[in-house]
Amino acid sequence: MTLALLLGAGVGMGLWLVARGIFPTRPRLADALAALRRVPEPPPVLATADPGGPAARLGAPLAALLARGDPARLLWGGVRRDLAVLERSPGRHLAEKTALGLVGLLVVPAMAGLLALGGTALPVMVPLWGALVLGMAGFFVPDLGIHAAAEARRRDFRHALGAYLDLVVVALAGGGGVETALADAATVGQGFAFTHLRRALDQARLARQAPWGILGRLGTELGVPELTELAASVSLAGTEGAKVRSSLAAKAASLRSHQLAAAETEAEAATERMSLPVVLLFAGFLFLIGYPAIERVATGL
Protein backbone atom coordinates (compact mmCIF):
# COMPACT_ATOMS: atom_id res chain seq x y z
CA MET A 1 0.00 0.00 0.00
CA THR A 2 2.77 2.44 0.93
CA LEU A 3 4.72 1.61 -2.21
CA ALA A 4 1.63 2.21 -4.36
CA LEU A 5 1.08 5.60 -2.71
CA LEU A 6 4.71 6.62 -3.28
CA LEU A 7 4.62 5.52 -6.91
CA GLY A 8 1.36 7.35 -7.47
CA ALA A 9 2.76 10.52 -5.91
CA GLY A 10 5.87 10.27 -8.10
CA VAL A 11 3.82 9.80 -11.27
CA GLY A 12 1.57 12.71 -10.35
CA MET A 13 4.55 14.97 -9.67
CA GLY A 14 6.11 14.00 -13.00
CA LEU A 15 2.90 14.74 -14.91
CA TRP A 16 2.59 18.10 -13.15
CA LEU A 17 6.18 19.03 -14.08
CA VAL A 18 5.57 18.01 -17.70
CA ALA A 19 2.45 20.15 -17.81
CA ARG A 20 4.33 23.13 -16.33
CA GLY A 21 7.05 22.71 -18.97
CA ILE A 22 4.60 22.49 -21.89
CA PHE A 23 2.30 25.28 -20.70
CA PRO A 24 4.47 27.75 -18.71
CA THR A 25 2.77 30.54 -16.83
CA ARG A 26 2.74 33.89 -18.61
CA PRO A 27 4.24 36.85 -16.77
CA ARG A 28 2.00 39.75 -15.85
CA LEU A 29 2.10 42.86 -18.02
CA ALA A 30 3.27 45.00 -15.11
CA ASP A 31 6.19 42.65 -14.41
CA ALA A 32 7.18 42.61 -18.10
CA LEU A 33 7.16 46.43 -18.30
CA ALA A 34 9.13 46.69 -15.04
CA ALA A 35 11.75 44.30 -16.42
CA LEU A 36 12.18 46.55 -19.47
CA ARG A 37 12.75 49.63 -17.30
CA ARG A 38 14.95 47.91 -14.73
CA VAL A 39 18.47 49.33 -14.38
CA PRO A 40 21.05 46.55 -14.87
CA GLU A 41 23.00 45.58 -11.78
CA PRO A 42 26.74 46.33 -11.74
CA PRO A 43 28.98 43.40 -12.65
CA PRO A 44 30.26 41.36 -9.69
CA VAL A 45 33.71 42.17 -8.39
CA LEU A 46 34.52 38.54 -7.68
CA ALA A 47 35.48 36.44 -10.67
CA THR A 48 34.23 32.91 -11.29
CA ALA A 49 36.54 30.05 -12.24
CA ASP A 50 35.17 26.75 -13.53
CA PRO A 51 37.81 24.03 -13.62
CA GLY A 52 35.13 21.36 -13.13
CA GLY A 53 35.68 17.71 -12.32
CA PRO A 54 34.25 14.25 -13.02
CA ALA A 55 31.30 14.83 -10.69
CA ALA A 56 30.47 18.16 -12.38
CA ARG A 57 30.64 16.60 -15.84
CA LEU A 58 28.50 13.66 -14.73
CA GLY A 59 25.73 15.76 -13.22
CA ALA A 60 25.81 18.63 -15.74
CA PRO A 61 23.04 17.32 -18.07
CA LEU A 62 20.59 16.58 -15.24
CA ALA A 63 21.46 19.85 -13.46
CA ALA A 64 20.82 21.82 -16.67
CA LEU A 65 17.45 20.08 -17.00
CA LEU A 66 16.50 20.91 -13.41
CA ALA A 67 17.75 24.51 -13.46
CA ARG A 68 16.37 25.40 -16.94
CA GLY A 69 19.12 27.93 -17.60
CA ASP A 70 19.31 29.49 -14.11
CA PRO A 71 21.18 27.26 -11.63
CA ALA A 72 21.28 29.98 -8.96
CA ARG A 73 17.53 29.80 -8.36
CA LEU A 74 17.88 26.25 -6.99
CA LEU A 75 20.52 27.28 -4.42
CA TRP A 76 20.14 29.09 -1.10
CA GLY A 77 21.33 32.68 -0.86
CA GLY A 78 24.06 31.74 1.61
CA VAL A 79 25.31 29.00 -0.71
CA ARG A 80 25.48 31.48 -3.61
CA ARG A 81 27.55 33.88 -1.50
CA ASP A 82 29.89 31.08 -0.44
CA LEU A 83 30.31 30.03 -4.07
CA ALA A 84 31.18 33.61 -5.02
CA VAL A 85 33.87 33.68 -2.32
CA LEU A 86 35.31 30.39 -3.61
CA GLU A 87 35.05 31.59 -7.24
CA ARG A 88 32.83 28.69 -8.29
CA SER A 89 29.81 28.99 -10.52
CA PRO A 90 26.35 27.91 -9.33
CA GLY A 91 26.08 25.64 -12.37
CA ARG A 92 29.16 23.65 -11.43
CA HIS A 93 28.07 23.30 -7.80
CA LEU A 94 24.56 22.24 -8.77
CA ALA A 95 26.02 19.66 -11.18
CA GLU A 96 28.20 18.22 -8.40
CA LYS A 97 25.25 18.11 -5.99
CA THR A 98 23.11 16.38 -8.60
CA ALA A 99 25.80 13.80 -9.35
CA LEU A 100 26.34 12.98 -5.66
CA GLY A 101 22.60 12.81 -5.05
CA LEU A 102 22.19 10.46 -8.00
CA VAL A 103 24.99 8.21 -6.73
CA GLY A 104 23.43 8.16 -3.25
CA LEU A 105 20.07 7.36 -4.79
CA LEU A 106 21.37 4.36 -6.71
CA VAL A 107 23.92 2.82 -4.34
CA VAL A 108 21.43 1.19 -1.94
CA PRO A 109 19.24 -0.38 -4.67
CA ALA A 110 22.43 -1.65 -6.34
CA MET A 111 23.58 -3.27 -3.09
CA ALA A 112 20.10 -4.73 -2.56
CA GLY A 113 20.25 -6.18 -6.08
CA LEU A 114 23.62 -7.78 -5.37
CA LEU A 115 22.27 -9.29 -2.16
CA ALA A 116 19.24 -10.59 -4.04
CA LEU A 117 21.54 -12.26 -6.56
CA GLY A 118 23.35 -13.89 -3.65
CA GLY A 119 20.09 -15.28 -2.29
CA THR A 120 19.37 -12.68 0.43
CA ALA A 121 16.20 -10.74 -0.29
CA LEU A 122 15.55 -7.48 1.57
CA PRO A 123 12.12 -5.93 2.11
CA VAL A 124 11.17 -3.37 -0.53
CA MET A 125 11.02 -0.49 1.95
CA VAL A 126 14.63 -0.95 3.09
CA PRO A 127 16.30 -0.02 -0.25
CA LEU A 128 13.58 2.55 -0.92
CA TRP A 129 14.15 4.50 2.30
CA GLY A 130 17.91 3.97 2.09
CA ALA A 131 17.94 5.41 -1.44
CA LEU A 132 15.90 8.43 -0.33
CA VAL A 133 18.11 9.14 2.71
CA LEU A 134 21.41 8.75 0.86
CA GLY A 135 20.12 10.70 -2.13
CA MET A 136 19.09 13.65 0.06
CA ALA A 137 22.40 13.45 1.96
CA GLY A 138 24.40 13.41 -1.27
CA PHE A 139 22.48 16.44 -2.53
CA PHE A 140 22.76 18.63 0.60
CA VAL A 141 26.06 17.59 2.25
CA PRO A 142 28.23 19.45 -0.35
CA ASP A 143 26.71 22.73 0.88
CA LEU A 144 28.30 22.15 4.31
CA GLY A 145 31.76 21.69 2.77
CA ILE A 146 31.28 24.83 0.67
CA HIS A 147 30.39 26.87 3.76
CA ALA A 148 33.41 25.65 5.74
CA ALA A 149 35.80 26.44 2.86
CA ALA A 150 34.25 29.89 2.36
CA GLU A 151 34.54 30.73 6.07
CA ALA A 152 38.22 29.75 5.99
CA ARG A 153 38.78 32.06 3.02
CA ARG A 154 36.92 34.91 4.76
CA ARG A 155 39.13 34.43 7.82
CA ASP A 156 42.25 34.65 5.66
CA PHE A 157 40.86 37.77 4.01
CA ARG A 158 40.38 39.43 7.41
CA HIS A 159 44.02 38.69 8.31
CA ALA A 160 45.18 40.24 5.04
CA LEU A 161 42.84 43.20 5.52
CA GLY A 162 44.60 44.11 8.78
CA ALA A 163 47.95 44.25 6.96
CA TYR A 164 46.35 46.24 4.14
CA LEU A 165 45.03 48.82 6.60
CA ASP A 166 48.52 49.25 8.07
CA LEU A 167 49.93 49.80 4.58
CA VAL A 168 47.21 52.38 3.83
CA VAL A 169 48.04 54.22 7.05
CA VAL A 170 51.75 54.28 6.13
CA ALA A 171 50.91 55.61 2.65
CA LEU A 172 48.69 58.33 4.15
CA ALA A 173 51.44 59.29 6.60
CA GLY A 174 53.76 59.76 3.62
CA GLY A 175 51.54 62.53 2.30
CA GLY A 176 49.57 60.59 -0.35
CA GLY A 177 45.90 61.06 -1.07
CA VAL A 178 43.22 58.59 -0.11
CA GLU A 179 42.84 56.99 -3.56
CA THR A 180 46.60 56.88 -4.07
CA ALA A 181 47.14 55.27 -0.67
CA LEU A 182 44.51 52.63 -1.39
CA ALA A 183 46.03 51.77 -4.77
CA ASP A 184 49.66 51.77 -3.56
CA ALA A 185 48.89 49.57 -0.55
CA ALA A 186 47.07 47.01 -2.74
CA THR A 187 50.13 46.57 -4.98
CA VAL A 188 52.38 45.39 -2.15
CA GLY A 189 50.85 42.06 -1.13
CA GLN A 190 49.98 38.86 -2.94
CA GLY A 191 47.33 36.21 -2.49
CA PHE A 192 43.55 36.05 -2.66
CA ALA A 193 42.80 39.20 -0.65
CA PHE A 194 45.25 41.59 -2.34
CA THR A 195 44.37 40.22 -5.79
CA HIS A 196 40.71 41.06 -5.31
CA LEU A 197 41.50 44.42 -3.74
CA ARG A 198 43.59 45.33 -6.79
CA ARG A 199 40.89 44.07 -9.12
CA ALA A 200 38.24 46.15 -7.34
CA LEU A 201 40.38 49.30 -7.42
CA ASP A 202 41.22 48.77 -11.11
CA GLN A 203 37.53 48.31 -11.87
CA ALA A 204 36.72 51.56 -10.06
CA ARG A 205 39.48 53.41 -11.93
CA LEU A 206 38.38 52.14 -15.34
CA ALA A 207 34.71 52.90 -14.61
CA ARG A 208 35.62 56.34 -13.19
CA GLN A 209 33.88 55.57 -9.93
CA ALA A 210 34.83 56.23 -6.32
CA PRO A 211 36.99 53.35 -5.02
CA TRP A 212 35.17 53.12 -1.69
CA GLY A 213 31.92 52.21 -3.45
CA ILE A 214 33.59 49.26 -5.20
CA LEU A 215 35.29 48.21 -1.96
CA GLY A 216 31.97 48.29 -0.14
CA ARG A 217 30.40 46.11 -2.82
CA LEU A 218 33.35 43.70 -2.60
CA GLY A 219 32.83 43.45 1.17
CA THR A 220 29.14 42.67 0.62
CA GLU A 221 29.90 39.98 -1.97
CA LEU A 222 32.54 38.41 0.26
CA GLY A 223 30.44 38.63 3.41
CA VAL A 224 33.23 40.54 5.21
CA PRO A 225 31.63 43.46 7.11
CA GLU A 226 35.06 44.81 8.09
CA LEU A 227 35.75 45.73 4.47
CA THR A 228 32.36 47.44 4.19
CA GLU A 229 33.16 49.46 7.33
CA LEU A 230 36.54 50.36 5.83
CA ALA A 231 34.82 51.62 2.68
CA ALA A 232 32.45 53.73 4.79
CA SER A 233 35.35 55.27 6.72
CA VAL A 234 37.32 56.03 3.57
CA SER A 235 34.25 57.58 1.92
CA LEU A 236 34.10 60.15 4.72
CA ALA A 237 37.63 61.22 3.87
CA GLY A 238 36.90 61.30 0.16
CA THR A 239 33.60 63.18 0.34
CA GLU A 240 33.62 65.08 3.64
CA GLY A 241 37.35 65.67 4.06
CA ALA A 242 37.49 63.85 7.39
CA LYS A 243 40.76 62.82 9.02
CA VAL A 244 40.97 59.15 8.11
CA ARG A 245 44.49 58.10 9.10
CA SER A 246 43.86 57.80 12.84
CA SER A 247 40.52 56.13 12.15
CA LEU A 248 42.12 53.49 9.93
CA ALA A 249 44.92 52.89 12.45
CA ALA A 250 42.35 52.33 15.19
CA LYS A 251 40.35 50.02 12.92
CA ALA A 252 43.47 47.99 12.13
CA ALA A 253 44.27 47.60 15.83
CA SER A 254 40.66 46.62 16.57
CA LEU A 255 40.70 44.07 13.75
CA ARG A 256 43.88 42.47 15.06
CA SER A 257 42.49 42.29 18.61
CA HIS A 258 39.32 40.60 17.34
CA GLN A 259 41.39 38.11 15.36
CA LEU A 260 43.53 37.37 18.41
CA ALA A 261 40.43 36.82 20.56
CA ALA A 262 38.94 34.53 17.89
CA ALA A 263 42.19 32.54 17.71
CA GLU A 264 42.25 32.13 21.50
CA THR A 265 38.60 31.03 21.51
CA GLU A 266 39.27 28.48 18.78
CA ALA A 267 42.31 27.15 20.65
CA GLU A 268 40.30 26.77 23.87
CA ALA A 269 37.52 24.98 21.96
CA ALA A 270 40.08 22.61 20.43
CA THR A 271 41.48 21.92 23.90
CA GLU A 272 38.01 21.12 25.21
CA ARG A 273 37.39 18.78 22.28
CA MET A 274 40.66 16.98 23.01
CA SER A 275 39.58 16.30 26.60
CA LEU A 276 36.78 13.97 25.46
CA PRO A 277 39.09 11.29 23.96
CA VAL A 278 41.21 11.38 27.12
CA VAL A 279 38.13 10.82 29.30
CA LEU A 280 36.99 7.93 27.09
CA LEU A 281 40.46 6.39 27.17
CA PHE A 282 40.57 6.65 30.97
CA ALA A 283 37.08 5.11 31.25
CA GLY A 284 38.18 2.23 29.01
CA PHE A 285 41.28 1.72 31.15
CA LEU A 286 39.19 1.60 34.34
CA PHE A 287 36.81 -0.89 32.70
CA LEU A 288 39.73 -3.06 31.62
CA ILE A 289 41.12 -3.13 35.17
CA GLY A 290 37.81 -3.60 36.97
CA TYR A 291 36.16 -6.13 34.65
CA PRO A 292 37.99 -9.25 36.01
CA ALA A 293 37.02 -8.39 39.59
CA ILE A 294 33.40 -7.66 38.67
CA GLU A 295 33.18 -10.85 36.58
CA ARG A 296 34.63 -12.95 39.46
CA VAL A 297 32.17 -11.46 41.95
CA ALA A 298 29.25 -12.00 39.54
CA THR A 299 30.18 -15.65 38.89
CA GLY A 300 30.81 -16.30 42.58
CA LEU A 301 27.27 -15.23 43.47
| 102 CB-near residues (< 8 Å, 6+ apart) | 58, 59, 62, 135, 138
- HSE-up of residue 205 (Cα within 13 Å, Cβ side): 10
Q: What is the pLDDT confidence band of residue 63, given thresholds at 50, 70 and 90?
A: low
Tens of pLDDT, residue by residue over 183-227, are: 888 888 788 888 888 888 888 888 888 888 888 888 888 888 888
CA 235 to CA 229: how far, in whole Å? 10
The answer for residues whose C-beta is within 8 angstroms of residue 144's C-beta and 6 or more apart is: none
Report pLDDT digits (tens) over 95-140. Answer: 777 777 787 788 878 887 887 777 777 777 877 888 888 878 877 8
Give pTM, 2 decimals. Answer: 0.64
